Structure 1
Amino acid sequence: MANALSKRWVEPEPLAPKTTLLQHKWPLFIGSRDTSTTLPAGNYEWPFNFILPGNTAETVEDIPEARITYALKATITRPKLLRDVRTRKRLRVFRIPSPDTLEMMQSLPIERTWQNKIDYFINLSTGVVMIGGSVMLEMRLSPLLKSLSLERFSVTLTEFREFHLQNGALFRQRDHRAERTISTWDFQVSREHNWQDMPEGTDQQVWMITKKLDIPNRLCDCSQDIDVHGIRVHHKVRVVIPLRNADGHISELAVGLPLVITINTSIPSDEQGSASNHLAFRPLVEANRTCPPGYGEHILDQPFDELQGMMVSSSSESFEMDSDDMEGVSRVPTYRTALRAPLTFYRQPGNIQLPAYDAVARSNRQDQAD
C-alpha cells in the first residue's frame, strides 16, 4: 500500500515535488524469495488488513496543482525470465465531519443596509452541503427608494485553492493561489411572483426570492473542502444583484456567503468520482449517523427471513377453539370459581398437550428426591 503527495504549478523554476506520506508492505503470502512454489489451477485468496493511522491525510484528486492518492499494489513474482504479474487498485480516503460538528456549522445570514438604497437579507439553508446535493438560497430585498427596480440576479459558486510548499533544497517557501468557477446561475425576478407585502403587515413591500442551487456530483467538477499538508480548498457563493436607478444607471450589490462542501461516504462513486444520483440528496447529518458495519462483520448478520421466523411462529401451527370454549376463556372467574372448575385441556395439531399442574409437581418432587 502506497500513498503519494505531489504538488505542481508553473513558475520560472521547475516545480514538481513528490512525497511519500504512507507506505506499508505485507510479508509474502506464500513461498519465499529464494524458492518458488507451483500453484495448481484454481482460485486463491489471501486476506490482509492494515489499520490506517488517525492522522492519515484524505484523498485529493482532480485539481491540477496538487493531489494525494492511495493505491494497493499486488505482485506475483515469477521465476527465470518470465515477466512478473502486477495489478493496482486505487483507494480513496475521505474525512467526514461528525454530526455534532455539522449541526454547529449553520449558515450565517447577512442582513444589512446598502448605500441607503436597499435593506437586504440573504441566507443559505445550510452551511454544509455534500457533493451532488443542493442548497436553498433565500433573499429578502426591501428597497428604500421607490425608483429602484430589479429584473434579474446571478449566483456563482467559486472554488478557491491555496498551496504552500516548503522547499528543503532552496530553504525557502513557495505559495500559490488559484480559483475556478464551479457553477453559475441566472435567475429572473418579476413583480407578479416575487413582489409582496412585508409579513409584519406594514405598508413596505419587498422582493421575496427562494432559489435552489444544485452542486455538481463529480469530483472533477468540484473538490471537497480540505486543509491538509499545505493544500487548502474552500468555496464561496457569490450573489450579484443589479439594481436599476431612476436615472437608468445600474448599481450592483455583491454579497459572498461561505459554503462547506464535503463528501458523503454512503454514496457510491465510480472511477471518475461521480456520485450516484439516486442518493445525492440524502441529508448529510442523517447519513453520517448511519455507520456501515466493519469489514467482515456483515457475514454474521442473519437473513431477514430467519430473524422473522424466530420471532413469529408459523401460521400453520395455529390451533382453533370452539366458540363455547372461547366464551369461557374470555370470562375472568373469581378465585373460588377457578378452584371449583374442572381442568380443561386445549389440544394443538399433532396431539401435543400441556401437562397438568399436579403431574408437573410430582415430577419436580421426584427430581428433588433423586
Structure 2
Amino acid sequence: MVATPKVFGGGKAKPVLEIRPDSPFIVFQGDAHNAEPVSLTGKLVLTNTDSIPVRCIKLSLIGTRKVSWLTNAVNPQQIVYKDEFLRENLQIYPTDHSSRKTVHHMGAGVHEWNFKFTLRGSLPESVEGLAGSYIVYNLHATMDRGMMAKTLYADKHLRIIRTLASEILSDAAMEQTNEDVWADKLCYKITIPQTNFIFGTQAMADFQLIPLKKGVTIGKIKMELHEHVVLNAIQGDRNLPHSWDAIVAKEEYDMPNDAEQRMTDEDDDNPFDESFKFKLALPFPKSLKKCRQNVETDFIRIDHKIKLYVNLHNPEGHTSQLLVKNNCVLFVSPNLPIGEDQMVLNPAAGIAIHGYGGWRN
C-alpha cells in the first residue's frame, strides 16, 4: 500500500534515499502454524536540494537463507545451499504503473511515501550469528533516474522475532525438578523453576544435596548451556544434514559457605546429619555471535540444554560426578530485543516493536 507523498522545505544536500521502517523488529507470536500475519510499515524518504529527474521508485522486501559447512573428510568439501525464499515488490512512484517509463521531475525538498507489507506468520524467523549460515531479511529501494542520471539505492536490515504464544507464556513456568539417590552416595533435589528463558537473561537452579556416605564431601559445581545445531542443505535431489554441539555458557562454583544446614538429630550414626541448600545462576550470552535462540525451520534447527555437574570427593581419594540434564528454550523477547551489533539492547532504549496482540508497544 502506497500513500500520497508529503513534501517539506528543501535544504542543501546531495539526493539521499532512506528507508525508515516504523520498527526494525517484527514479532510473530507463536509457531509457524499458528502465528497471525503481521504488518511491516514505514516510510521511504527522498531528500534532494534541487529538482531531479525520476523515472521510477521501487521498494522490495527480500528474505534470504544460506547454510554452509566443510565436510569432515580427508579432503574437506564446502557444502553450500543458498536461496531467496521471499521477494515482495512495491512500486512507490509513480503510482500509475503505465507511466513508469516516463521521466518525471521531482521538486526540491523532502519527499515521504508510506509503505506497507503484510508478512505471513509462517515465515521463518531471522537466524544470525552462525558462521556461514543465516536467515536474514532486508528492505531494498531503487530510484531509477533515467538514462542520464545515477540510480539511487537504499537498504535496511530487518529482524523477524518469533516469540512464544501467549497461552504458553500464561501457563505455569514448567518447573523442572530432578530428585533421586545417586550411587548410594548422594540424595539430591535440583530444581530449575522454568523451561522457557528470554535470550540474554539467566537460569537459576535450586540445589538440595544430602551426602549419604560418611566422608563424602561436595566439591565444585558446574553449570553449562549446550547448543545443538542441525543444518540441512539441498544438493540436487539429496538432502544433506550436518550437526554439532557446543558449550555456549558455563560457570563453576564452590558450594556457598552458608549452604550447610545441620540436622536436629546429632547422632553420628545418622547418615542424614547434614544437608546443603543453595541457589546458583547460569548467565546466558547476550550476543548472537556466542549463542542463538531456539530455532525450528526446514534448513536450520537449534535447541539447548542446561547441564549441571556436582563433584563428590570420596573418602578413598577419588572424585565422582553427578550429571543432571534439563531442557531449555531460549526465545528473543520484544521487551529485550537485539541490536544491529547482534547484542541484546538495553531495555530502556525505547525501541518500538511491531507485532501481534499484547506484544505491540
Q: With structure 1 as the length reference, what TM-score do the two structures score?
A: 0.71
- Residue aligning to 1:193: 258
In the TM superposition, residue 279 of structure 1 has moved relative to its aligned partner by: 5.7
Q: Counterparts in 2 of 1:60-71, with a 5 A limit?
A: 60-71=127-138
- Residue aligning to 2:195: 127
CA offsets 1:8-53 (integer angstroms, 9 cap, x no match): 0002443211111111011242274421111111001111111111
- Residue aligning to 1:136: 204
- Alignment partners' CA distance in 2, 1:182 and 1:228: 21
Q: Counterparts in 2 of 1:191-270, with a 5 A limit?
A: 192-197=257-262, 204-270=273-339
1:20 matches 2:80: no
Relative distance call for 1:209 and 1:199 in structure 2 (3 A) is farther
| Structure with larger RCO (C-alpha < 8 A, sep 6+) | 2
- Residue aligning to 2:123: 56
Find the residue that maps to 2:106 and give its secondary structure: coil
- Residue aligning to 1:176: 242
Q: Which runs of 5+ in 2 are unaligned?
A: 1-60, 350-355
Find the residue that maps to 2:180 and give its secondary structure: strand
Find the residue that maps to 1:265 and give its secondary structure: coil
In the TM superposition, residue 159 of structure 1 has moved relative to its aligned partner by: 1.1
- Alignment partners' CA distance in 2, 1:18 and 1:75: 24
Is this contact kept in 1: 2:225–2:249, CA < 8 A? yes
In the TM superposition, residue 240 of structure 1 has moved relative to its aligned partner by: 1.5
Is this contact kept in 2: 1:225–1:233, CA < 8 A? yes
- Residue aligning to 2:23: none
Partner AA of 2:192 in structure 1 = L
Alignment counterpart, residue 345 of structure 2, candidates 261, 276, 294: 276
- Alignment partners' CA distance in 2, 1:195 and 1:247: 23
In the TM superposition, residue 82 of structure 1 has moved relative to its aligned partner by: 2.9
Matched residues, percent identical? 24
> Aligned-pair RMSD on alpha carbons?
2.5
Deviates more, 1:200-209 or 1:30-39: 200-209
Relative distance call for 1:199 and 1:48 in structure 2 (3 A) is farther
Q: Which runs of 5+ in 1 are unaligned?
A: 281-287, 294-370
- Alignment partners' CA distance in 2, 1:253 and 1:133: 26
Is this contact kept in 1: 2:125–2:135, CA < 8 A? yes
Relative distance call for 1:49 and 1:175 in structure 2 (3 A) is same
Relative distance call for 1:205 and 1:279 in structure 2 (3 A) is farther
In the TM superposition, residue 166 of structure 1 has moved relative to its aligned partner by: 3.5
Is this contact kept in 1: 2:184–2:212, CA < 8 A? yes
- Alignment partners' CA distance in 1, 2:261 and 2:173: 31
- Alignment partners' CA distance in 1, 2:289 and 2:239: 28
Is this contact kept in 2: 1:132–1:217, CA < 8 A? yes
Alignment counterpart, residue 93 of structure 2, candidates 15, 29, 50: 29
- Alignment partners' CA distance in 2, 1:79 and 1:46: 20
- Alignment partners' CA distance in 1, 2:348 and 2:325: 29
- Residue aligning to 1:356: none
1:44 matches 2:106: no
- Alignment partners' CA distance in 2, 1:200 and 1:6: 64
- Residue aligning to 1:156: 224
Larger-gyration structure (1/2): 1
Alignment counterpart, residue 156 of structure 2, candidates 89, 92, 108: 89
In the TM superposition, residue 278 of structure 1 has moved relative to its aligned partner by: 4.3
How many residues get paired?
Answer: 284
In the TM superposition, residue 212 of structure 1 has moved relative to its aligned partner by: 2.1
Partner AA of 2:187 in structure 1 = D
In the TM superposition, residue 69 of structure 1 has moved relative to its aligned partner by: 0.4
Q: Which has the higher helix share?
A: 1
Relative distance call for 1:175 and 1:105 in structure 2 (3 A) is farther
- Alignment partners' CA distance in 2, 1:199 and 1:106: 34
- Residue aligning to 2:183: 115
Structure 1 stretches of 4+ with a deviation exceeding 6 A read: 199-202
- Alignment partners' CA distance in 1, 2:337 and 2:127: 17
